[in-house]
Structure 1
Amino acid sequence: MKKIALTLAFATTCFANATLAQDSAEKPPYENWVGVFGQYHQADSDKPDPVGGLDDGRGLGGELGFRFDPTWAVRFELTRLLIDNDSSVAASLADDGTMLGADLMYFLEDDAAYLFGGVREQSLRDSYRMVSLGVGKHWAVSEDWRVITEAAAYHDIGQNYQDFSLKLGLAYIFGERSTGTIERPDSDGDGVYDAVDRCPNTPPGTQVDATGCNIDLDGDGVINAMDECPRTPVGVAVNERGCPLKDSDGDGVTDDMDECPDTPATDRVDEVGCSVFEQVEVFVEIDILFENDSSEVTNPRSELILEFVDFMNRFPNTSAVIEGHTSAVGDTDYNQALSQRRADAIRQLLIDEYSIDASRLDAVGFGESRLKFNDDTEEAHRLNRRTEARVTATVEEKVTRD
């Protein structure tokens, strides 16, 4: 019965091989191999019934494989096993025997690994019929040689025993071989086979997606798979979803980047859509004339004084020096004192009448040392009887568009 079961398993596997080979009759042959291996085998500790006691052991064997297309192969193997006993079980003994098997193998893309399943006939003290399931890889070391690594699990069909094994081996490749690539037509040469190409007439050189279509049909820089607006007109700026961006205030910065969305149309803006400012120096001057030999301010609400006060209020961090002057007529020392009284009069007016902080104002008399006009005329003397002040501040002003 055991031999019959194994024969049926082999026949089933060979039939699958023949069927698949027939389906691929038009395809080139693939590599076959013969190999030897060493094996670590972990037997179920319940074996043999009823005493149990088997432990792990080792095996040495050989295998023969036939690969008939890029993904499918069949393999036959014969292993000599020597299984140790568990010394804690007095009645248990070491056991040796053979294991004969056949597997159907499925190779992943680029031979990254393979999966396999099949049947085993294990003959130790008793015989066990098992199904196998595992994973492995053939590591190419040369054109003709492969290193075999493999892990497998075995399930006894009749008694539910569970075995495990690890394999390390060396295989020799024989027979005619190929790259394992099946020729599939690609009429437009875009790298996508005709069978899945939804755009079969793509112009040469066009970058395409997995379906063979232009990867960015509207040319907006967003690939079709992510593009929610696939028909965006050429040249229109789009967001990460491929949809047109808006510029509500027309400043050249799209709304998604605009931190100042209501910029006036006349303003130049920066990269985030906000008005650009530049520092500009502004100033105000005061020039008050006095009567001859007088320090009285005859018009304390003159336009010049009001303009000066307004500037000082708008720029509270500024300060001023009020300068007093006289004409060249009269005694020099007297003129010096007169110019100081004129400067003090303007300073005190700004403090008392306009509430300018006294710490922001100084008064200095220059007498006749700084004449504006040197002519010895009544007009020149009149214009020299004066007080002057200049206040400067730095402000930021908007830059207009070109």
Structure 2
Amino acid sequence: MKRKLLASAIALTMLTSAAMAQTEPEYESWVGGFVQHYSPDQHKPNPFPFNYLDDGHTFGAEAGFRFDPKWAVRFELSRIFLDMTGDFRPGNGDDGTMVGADVMYFLDDDLAYLFGGARNQSIMESYRMASYGIGKHWEVSDNIRVITEVARYYDFGQSHNETSAKLGVAYVFGSTSAPAEQPDSDNDGVYDAIDRCPTTPAGIEVDATGCNIDLDGDGVLNSQDQCPLTPANAKVKENGCAVKDSDADGVFDDVDSCPNTPAGTTVNAKGCAANLDIDNDGLLDSVDKCLGTPATDKVDAEGCSILVEKEVSIGLNVLFPNNSSVVSNPDAANIVKFADFMKRYGNTTAVIEGHTSSVGSADYNQFLSEKRAQSVRKLLIEAYGIDSSRLEAVGFGESQLKDTTNTAEAHRINRRIEVKVSAMVKETATK
């Protein structure tokens, strides 16, 4: 049903748009309201057997800004009302909210627009989704447009695929305008704003700067001269800019690692005395590729600090009350320390393992362990800013008990989350 709805709506938008195409966009911004037919994923919400959401509708508002005839940005806020089906209807959670933002690309003559962006949907749980689709703004009057749109949504967390079809009304304001014609006083083909020679005589062939001469007499034509007003007799580089040789050793200051070499000293290509070792690393400056190495560092044959790899790791354990997936102390020192480690070593990933005690049924304990792992994952993402792509949540139920004795203490330590992360870092070897 979702595929037929999407295909039909796209076809209708593209075919009818051709007949109503505009030659130029007539607005920069808009605000509007809309309704949508919304089709959620048939496996939502997880886990099975609680897959009870069915097609429904939304009411919402949007605001957009068209900063270019082809490009615009848009923000949406909507309220979702979904039907419920199945034997495991919880009696609530059939409605929620969705906020999102899109970048929009308008086809020639406003035939249609393509868009892509992101959505955050809250229906019992929070879902982060990518959005993309096609739409059309239909002109009704100077300031009124009818919005038609079809969209698809993909939830990276649980691989949900969902569909919507929109119908709305927008009020548009502002107008796009053609850029003002650029003046060219001497008619040489170079606008005055970038013309370095705005009074070139007629018929003279000019370069990209509007000139065909070497204004400052430094031997570099203006088309390549980045400093066209260099003082006469100044020593210049290939780009026409003056350079200095403060110690007169034949090496320009911008590449001279030793700009105060005494007069008459023989220097290398870096401007340093050929028989000196200024960083005391055992290599003469003439062959040292890393001048200024700290005295405590071990160096290689080129005079550069030697780096060695070292493994660093951290673990995280979180205990839960009986029959609960709520993190009771989200600001605990061990959680903060773990989040700081993940931020410092940005290439690491973590598998968050959820566990339960052996009390209750195995199916329910499997469900509860997954909820616990998801709770810790959500906390690290939302409260500590860890990228969701770096965190995976897995539940093991009662299959990996730390203590197999049937005691209250055993049950307490079995209701847990376990995570371990390792990273290889490079450190400077010292003497």
- For the aligned pair, the TM-score class normalised by the smaller chain equals 0.3 to 0.5
- Give the TM-score, by structure 1 length: 0.38
> Greater CA radius of gyration, 1 or 2?
1
